[in-house]
Amino acid sequence: MILITFAIGGSATGYVGKLLMGFLRIETPWLYIIIYIAIVTLIWPLMVIVISFFFGQFNFFRNYLRRMGARIFGSKKSMSGVVQAAARSTKKVHLAVFASGTGSNAQKIIDYFRNHPSIRIALIVSNKPTAGVLGIANNERINSLIIEKEKFFRGNAYVDELRSHEIDFIVLAGFLWKLPPSLIHAWHKRIINIHPALLPKYGGKGLYGHHVHEAVINAGEKESGITIHYVDEIYDHGDPIFQEKVVVEDGDTPELLSKKIQALEHLHFPRIIEEVVKNVRK
């Protein structure tokens, strides 16, 4: 694959170089040769880096070009700047979606980012081996990870496994376990959750799913909604990002209210995820 990357990168360099020379329209042979050599020398590293992404060889060529830059310019910083700029412009942000249930929100998120130019769902994580979201991961050909309680709370919280998938953001979409501090610190301000109520009301341990809707209706609330927020060490406590309301009508049951809330989740959650990722990446 390395040789193929070299070959395609070299061919792309030659092709782009000739296109540029065509625009310049230089007729003097010796001047044409000098300028052509200068152009291909400048664009070759970028072409190789771009091609290397498609063949899984980016890390190899990043290190290779750094060594080349150090030999040519006497400093690793000269070439690493070019490599880093190319990486930032082409590497997609990797999201891990954590879910404990059927995964209806996860499916909407996957659909939203399916052909996204800069964001990719790289991993589905669940604490239940029978969770429906794992079937979605299999159907969508997305890597999945089943986590167990001992390692999650008293081990390394699967930080190493998440880093091996180059996860940049974590999205909680119906994930019922409280996250351990080590995970929250490793992805500080890069973990977001959606809660099916208007926080700070009706949040905390045990208030999830139909339990939230029952509490809202029993309290006689006239409205409910969704809250998308950052995750910290306390249940449903992190800084809010977005809220949307829905009317609680007379005669609403927890099941009817759940359907209203779910419609809001599917409509807004993927879009807000995109906005958060883009704002952090700027």
Could you list the active site residues?
A: 195
3-state DSSP of 216-267? HHHCCCCEEEEEEEECCCCCCCCCEEEEEEEECCCCCCHHHHHHHHHHHHHH
Amino acid at the residue 91: K
**Contact call for residues 97 and 171 (beta carbons, < 8 A):** yes
Other CB atoms within 10 A of residue 136 CB: 20
Judged on CB neighbours under 10 Å (0-12, 13-18, 19+), 259 is: exposed
3-state secondary structure of 273: helix
C-alpha to C-alpha distance for 248 and 260, rounded to whole angstroms: 9
Q: How far apart are alpha carbons 98 and 170 in whole angstroms?
A: 7
> How many other β-carbons are positioned within 10 Å of the β-carbon of residue 147?
18
Token representation of residue 206: 């045990």
Greatest pairwise CA separation for the chain in angstroms: 86
Please name the residue that has the structure tokens 């152009």. Answer: 39
- Cβ density class 220-232: b for 16+ within 10 Å, e for less: eeeebbbbbbbbb
